[in-house]
Amino acid sequence: MKQGVKGFIIGVIITSLIMMSMPVLADSLEKDVKAIYNAVSILINGKKVQMENITINNQIYVPAKDLSEKLGSTFEWNKKTNIVSINDKKTAKPVVLKADKTKPYVLKIEAKTGGTTIEVTFNEKLNAATAKNISNYVIHERYGAKTALTVLSAKLDAAGTKVILTTSGQKEATLYMANISNVKDLAGNIMDSYSNTFIGMRSTASPNPPEVSDKTKPSVIKVEAKTGGTTVEVTFDKIMDKAAAENVANYVIKERYGAKTALNVLAAKLDAAGTKVTLSTSGQKAATLYDISISNVKDLAGNIMNSYSNTFIGMSSSASSDSPEILTIKSATFTSNTTIEVVFSNKLDKASAESTGHYQLNKKYGTRDEVQIKSAVLDSTLEKVTLTLAPVERGVLYNFDCSGINDIYGNTLNSYNTSLVNM
């Protein structure tokens, strides 16, 4: 069998398998697409063959069984496992195809210049009907009155991976929360519910600075030390004035206990979005609690923030390994007073990752009370685990332990221990 023909067979069989493996979804999909019956002629090795075919969105679908037999291969479909096996009679080597069971997920959400457009980028091609259903998108202000943005329309691009939302007018430099759900891929897999924030944009028709009517002071959303031990990220809820945000004198960091040694802030850089400042510091001490004080930073309208104080845990330098033979934890952080997000270096075994017995959390000082871990959920990347736990206290140092987890290669995580604080 020629190599070019083999590639064609696999491409056609994969799309055929999607149709064949999801009879329950077929009815709903037919309502959303235009199909042309027997629009093309099928030639194999230059010879025309009789074979039914359907053209949908410039893709050709043929029966996998018929095509296999025409090419002199054997065909077998195991309905219990949803696996198709095609064997070349000459080589007796099977080609095994599995149905797509991977859920789609959002890669990026971004407001575009103009103040009425939001782009949502997914990791794969989407079912058009669900991607264009505006009820699957809910957007509101993150703080204050939490006024909703009305989603007026949703358009799927030609590549099938990006949704362009048209909304009512956004407020410039305002933090919005977007909630997205019920969107499917072409195989009918439904995404997990997604929530994230973005900064509203103003109309390009108004290139002037924000009106003086903006009297809302900016505030800090999050402070976090990053892996490496010399970087701290400060995230604000508005677009900030560059000069004020990058003035290192506006940031003071020192140890919370003991000698209260200061960290030198060597540089401050505002990101392209204008909402996140990356501080370069002298070397931090691992698992050490630091106080950070921020003041005199203003937004584009000139509103000066109220003085801000909080704590964070210092990080140590860690050399990441590219070897799949080693399983490590990249980070563990509180995302709320009832959740911890743990990011691993490798893809994990689901059963092992979701066993709560592999995780332990207790107060680092005093009574050292243990916190109940109610559940552990592995996300679609297989590298991130979200722990749900009993509520923890704010500003209190906790000891987090993790061990015994396996990755998909069979490697076991060595005992991991770090200190966390809910800020």
- Taking only the tens place, the pLDDT of each residue in 136-167 is 999 998 876 777 889 999 999 999 999 999 99
Structural domains of the chain ordered from first start: 3-98 (no CATH), 106-199 (2.60.40.1220), 220-313 (2.60.40.1220), 329-421 (2.60.40.1220)
Structure tokens at 384: 């991130």
Q: What is the pLDDT of residue 293?
A: 96
| Predicted confidence (pLDDT) at residue 400 exceeds the cutoff of 70 | yes
| Predicted confidence (pLDDT) at residue 169 exceeds the cutoff of 70 | yes
Which residues make Cβ contacts (< 8 Å) with residue 174, sequence separation at least 6? 141, 142, 199, 200, 238
**Higher model confidence: residue 395 or residue 388?**
388
**Higher model confidence: residue 211 or residue 62?**
62
| Predicted confidence (pLDDT) at residue 54 exceeds the cutoff of 60 | yes
| Predicted confidence (pLDDT) at residue 3 exceeds the cutoff of 70 | no
Which of 83-97, 347-361, 363-377 is the least confident region? 83-97
Q: Report angle CA 97, 102, 108 to the nearest 5 degrees.
A: 135
d(CA 403, CA 399): 14
Q: Report angle CA 167, 184, 174 to the nearest 5 degrees.
A: 30
**Higher model confidence: residue 20 or residue 286?**
286
- Taking only the tens place, the pLDDT of each residue in 298-355 is 988 889 999 999 988 888 754 333 345 688 899 999 999 999 999 998 888 888 899 9
Q: What's the whole-model pTM score?
A: 0.36
List, edge to edge, every strand of the sheet that includes 137-141.
Answer: 148-149, 137-141, 175-180, 194-199
Mean pLDDT for the chain? 82
Q: Report angle CA 380, 383, 389 to the nearest 5 degrees.
A: 90
**Higher model confidence: residue 49 or residue 155?**
155
Confidence class of residue 297 from pLDDT cuts 50, 70 and 90? very high
Q: What is the pLDDT of residue 90?
A: 63
- Taking only the tens place, the pLDDT of each residue in 201-233 is 875 534 444 444 578 899 999 999 988 788 999
CB 206 within 8 A of CB 186: no
Confidence class of residue 15 from pLDDT cuts 50, 70 and 90? very low
CB 112 within 8 A of CB 198: no
CA 77 to chain centre: 34
Query: Of how many residues is the chain composed?
Result: 423
Which of 122-136, 253-267, 379-393 is the least confident region? 253-267
One-letter amino acid for residue 254 of the chain: K
d(CA 20, CA 187): 11
